[in-house]
Amino acid sequence: MEFAFTEEQKMVREMAKKFADTEIAPVARENDILERFPIAIIKKMGPPGLLGGPVPEAYGGAGLDFISDAIIFEEIGRACSSVRTIVSVQVSLVELSILKWGTEEQKKKYLPALCRGEILGAFALTEPEAGSDAAGIKTSAQKTSDGWVLNGSKTWISTGSVADIVIIFAQTDPSKGYKGITAFIVKKGAAGFSSREIKGKLGLKSADTAELFFEDCLIPEDSILGGVGEGFKIALSALDNGRYGVAAGCVGIIQGCVDACVRYSKERRQFGKPIASFQLVQDMIARMHVDLEAARLLVYRAGDLKNKGIRNTLETSVAKYFASEAAVRAATDAIQVHGGYGYSNEYPVERYLRDAKVATIYEGTSQIQKLIIGEHILGIKAFV
């Protein structure tokens, strides 16, 4: 692994940091309070390539390597995890899934518009009775002479109620279990397809989260992504990409906690001196920094494998598990460093904690990540 950044990676960080500091951070608090979807910010991210990431230039992307991809998620996550979530879904789950599994026609039809931010995408796997048990989905797709008819529902779908296209996973042959799952690209406005936004979330308040409903929703034959029965493989490969984006975003949260605590502890005075001089304050900030360095290296290790085309399910799960849990620890300590002020939204650290918690849940809980890691180490599945 090369520990020095390339000139391109340095430029990507400079560009992403500048965008995050000037366009995202100044309105993050207000968007969080108002639960306002940051559509104007997302639209601005298309032209500089922040929505194109590792998608080849031939399909409208930026053609970046996966370390650069992580750098973008990190800088955005440092400013606002709601925006990072939207971008992670757009790039990691939707664009990269279409890039890997889509037909040439689907790639040309959807990828340039997604990369430019002209349309938004969502990824719908989770159901009311199928969260960690992704193979247990009940949404069905029945073949007809006109295409496929979808029936069922999805829940906790990021960007679900505002997305223009959604990758839907449905059971096409229940007798085959997970091998009967198929992925479809469904357009907004399809007859029988509706959505309802989920309100009252602890964090990610300016990111859209929704329930999706399909009632005799007819979609054309060319809506299939990959082949019939390949849906579970597509979902697993997408989650490897999605978890990578979540992990990198959590590195950004930890960096934000460190930055906020350094500033505040030097300014805040107690007992006649800055609290930065207190041993136990330094202890908390030191622990944040160690977690930051460890999480960042774990993410970059997974990214290095992605760049080389080497399977990285284990390394990505390790990065996602560690970085998400470390982000919660860092945000908890950051609030403690800020004292009473940390408990208010006058400072960003309370938002960091609320936003960090969901990273230990979505795209595979911390417990699921440990089972994935355990299976790779032991060669034995915890359950089948």
Find the mean pLDDT for residues 229-256: 96
State the chain's mean pLDDT as an integer: 96
H-state helical runs in 268-365: 279-307, 313-338, 349-359
Interior angle at CA 367, CA 362 and CA 369, nearest 5 = 75
The per-residue pLDDT for range 276-309, each reduced to its tens digit, is: 999 999 999 999 999 999 999 999 999 999 999 9
Shortest CA distance to 162 belongs to which of 185, 183, 189? Answer: 189
How far apart are the C-alpha atoms of 284 and 367, rounded to whole Å? Answer: 26
- Which CATH number is associated with domain 123-232? 2.40.110.10
Phi/psi at 169 (5° precision): -110, 125
Q: What is the pLDDT of residue 319?
A: 98
Residue 285, pLDDT score? 98
CB atoms within 10 A of CB 193: 19
Instruction: Kindly state the helix (H) or strand (E) to which residue 28 belongs, with its residue range.
Output: helix 25-34
Local confidence band at 134 (pLDDT 50, 70, 90 cut-offs): confident
What is the tens place of the pLDDT at every residue in 95-111? 999 999 999 999 999 99
Separation CA 48–CA 116 (nearest Å): 9
pLDDT, mean of residues 40-66: 96
| Burial of 199: CB neighbours in 10 Å, binned 0-12, 13-18, 19+ | exposed
Q: How far apart are alpha carbons 255 and 265 in whole angstroms?
A: 15
CATH code 2.40.110.10 region(s) in the chain: 123-232
Q: Which residue has the tokens 């664009």?
A: 95
What is the per-residue pLDDT across 163-184, written as a single tens digit (0 to 9) for each? 999 999 999 999 999 999 999 9
Confidence band (pLDDT; 50, 70, 90) for 133?
confident
- Residue 186 three-state SS: strand
- Confidence band of 135 (pLDDT split at 50, 70, 90): confident
* Topology of domain 233-378, CATH: Butyryl-CoA Dehydrogenase, subunit A; domain 3 (1.20.140)
CB 381 within 8 A of CB 375: yes
Q: How far apart are CA 183 and CA 79, in angstroms?
A: 33
Q: Would the pLDDT of 2 be above 70? A: no
Q: Are 335 and 233 in contact (CB under 8 A)?
A: no
- Given a contact cutoff of 8 angstroms between Cβ atoms, the answer to whether 261 and 268 are in contact is no
Q: What is the CATH number of domain 7-119?
A: 1.10.540.10
Active centre residues (catalytic) = 363
Instruction: Give the list of residues 6+ apart from residue 72 with CB closer than 8 angstroms, or none.
Output: 12, 16, 50, 53, 64, 87
Between CA 44 and CA 151 the distance in angstroms is: 36
Residue limits of CATH 1.20.140.10 in the chain: 233-378
Predicted pLDDT of residue 323: 98
Is residue 384 pLDDT above 80, yes or no?
no
| CATH 1.10.540.10 domain position(s) in the chain | 7-119
Q: How many CB atoms lie within 10 A of CB 292?
A: 22
Task: Report CA-CA distances (Å) from 146 to 101, 132, 161, 170.
Answer: 23, 33, 26, 17
Mean pLDDT of 315-340: 98
State residue 232's pLDDT score.
95
Q: Which pLDDT score, from 0 to 100, does residue 132 have?
A: 83
Closest of 37, 41, 343 to residue 209, by C-alpha: 37
